[in-house]
Amino acid sequence: MTEFEAVIGLEIHVQLATQTKMFCGCKPVFGEDPNTRTCPTCLGLPGALPVINEAAVDFGMRLGLALGCSLAERSIFHRKNYFYADSPKGYQISQYDEPLCSEGELAGVRINRVHLEDDAAKLVHTSETGRIHGAESSVVDFNRAGTPLAEIVTEPDLRSAAQAREWLQLLRTTVKALNISDVNMEEGSLRCDANISVRPVGQKELATKTELKNMNSFRFVEKGIEAEIERQRILLESGGTVVQETLHFDPRTGSLTALRSKEEAHDYRYFPDPDLLPVSVDSEMVERARAALPELPAARAVRYAETYGFEQELSERLGFEADLGDLFEAVLEIRGKASDPRLAATWVSGEVFSRVEQDAGSAIEASTLAELLELLEGERITTAAARQVLDRVLAEGGSPADIVASEGLEKVGGGDALAAAVEIAIAAHPEAAAKVTAGEHKALGSRRWWRGAQRNPCSPWRRVGFITWLNNPQRQRFHSQRRWSLC
């Protein structure tokens, strides 16, 4: 039987987080009352004209540079003519044969182009709003109309749904690091369409492709592409042919439906927008955009792996989440060369991140975390105590050293101190102490506890464990062992 391979290219739309829309001064704020963020230009009123937003061009250049593209000295906005209720002007202003950026690459996937365009309005079908008389009409909200979009078009270099998803995640991380977009798929500030074809392994020519739209999460991107590859493969295996069409992925059912009937062949009648002049990009603008580029996620991950010998997962966690990487580096900076980078890395990517997934990097001051790690690394507190301190710091703020002091979390030095602690415990719980003395603790498996306590300095946890154990030996058995092992 013939083996097939999938050939996948992506078209990604990124809403740029500029202060104003692409061609007018309206603020693109979401979740506002419908039609309160519009003006003559973005409403397509008679006589209104577009003027290009300088920041959108700058963001587009940053994106192009980050994706290794060459920037055009002169790029042109065309009109893409089509009628639809979401199109205020009857055309979209988009770049066509002279885009701002072209020919780049990210993680082995070639970028065909990055260009700028304006977003469409939002069409709300009245059936969805629960109105009684069905879907006879729809309502248009022009708040979104004119929001700047960067469209990224890849070459068909992806070969599987999982690879497409992974690559898209890297792209998202990269765009996020540039600080030019929220890149949130659920909210629509990152949108992905896929061009998919399937061909026999070894065949050079591209087969007929279909376009898959409306995959509004990374999971659906993978599921949708997977489903379409499977559909095409089964079709080809059964001797059928793939028809060029646009498909809509329904995440609820996982089904694919053709969006538009074939009879309406699209003829967008592209031509240079006569309301706009070509955009000239001079070396000063390029340098400014280049200077605004942060270290990119892929490069950062490689640097961590090479400099600190971290494994891939840890390097990527810190490299791809810019705020985590920043926190990690700031902690290292404060603690100096003598400190253990791996300890800082695991605490940032593990302990901190697991507690606050959203904006973990800004949840705690680097100096605070550095102080905590210093206590930990200097063996003044146990890991368990450090976790307790972290919880407190995240919840209430404050200095780790102060919390350790006020909570009495510092390790107890052993010897006399331990003896004193035990004396206090025994005095407080004479009955339990009597049982201990009678040797019941052996049955509870705490012999190791005693041995260990004599050998090593003992933490407050052990003291607490011991006292609790004294109170309720049955319940405490497991815990005391766990504390022991953590010490």
Q: Can you give the binding site for other proteins, defined by CB under 8 A?
A: 18-20, 25-27, 33-41, 43-57, 74, 79, 81, 83-85, 88-91, 123-125, 134-142, 267, 269-280
Give whichever of 48 and 433 is closer to other proteins, judged by the CB atom. Answer: 48
Give whichever of 43 and 426 is closer to other proteins, judged by the CB atom. Answer: 43
Query: What is the spatial distance between Cα 54 and Cα 92, in angstroms, rounded to a whole number?
Result: 19
Among 452, 449, 450, residue whose Cα is nearest residue 479? 449
Among 420, 394, 87, 123, residue whose Cα is nearest residue 268? 87
What residue type is 444 in one-letter code? L
Length of the chain as a residue count? 487
Query: What is the spatial distance between Cα 51 and Cα 49, in angstroms, rounded to a whole number?
Result: 7
Q: Which does 311 bind (CB under 5 to 8 A by kind): Zn ion, other proteins, none?
A: none
Give whichever of 34 and 251 is closer to other proteins, judged by the CB atom. Answer: 34
Tokens 């979390």 label which residue?
409
Give whichever of 43 and 417 is closer to other proteins, judged by the CB atom. Answer: 43
Phi, psi of 228 (to 5 degrees): -70, -40
Phi, psi of 220 (to 5 degrees): -70, -30
Give whichever of 259 and 424 is closer to other proteins, judged by the CB atom. Answer: 259
Phi, psi of 100 (to 5 degrees): -65, -40
Shortest Å distance, C-beta 49 to Zn ion: 11
Q: Which does 420 bind (CB under 5 to 8 A by kind): other proteins, Zn ion, none?
A: none
Shortest Å distance, C-beta 161 to Zn ion: 39
Sign of CA dihedral 324, 170, 314, 306: negative
Q: Which does 399 bind (CB under 5 to 8 A by kind): Zn ion, other proteins, none?
A: none
What lies within 8 Å, CB to CB, of 288 at 6+ separation is 58
From 17-25, 217-225, 301-309, 367-375, give the range in contact with Zn ion by CB under 5 A. Answer: 17-25
Q: Which does 88 bind (CB under 5 to 8 A by kind): other proteins, Zn ion, none?
A: other proteins
8 Å CB contact between 3 and 200: yes
Give whichever of 49 and 299 is closer to other proteins, judged by the CB atom. Answer: 49
Paired residues of 148 in beta bridges: 118
Q: Which does 284 bind (CB under 5 to 8 A by kind): other proteins, Zn ion, none?
A: none
Shortest Å distance, C-beta 26 to Zn ion: 3
Q: Which does 33 bind (CB under 5 to 8 A by kind): other proteins, Zn ion, none?
A: other proteins
Per-residue interface string for the shown chain with Zn ion, residues 26-65, x marking contact by CB under 5 A: x------------x-xx-----------------------
What H or E segment, with its residue span, contains residue 114? Answer: strand 109-118
Give whichever of 50 and 361 is closer to Zn ion, judged by the CB atom. Answer: 50
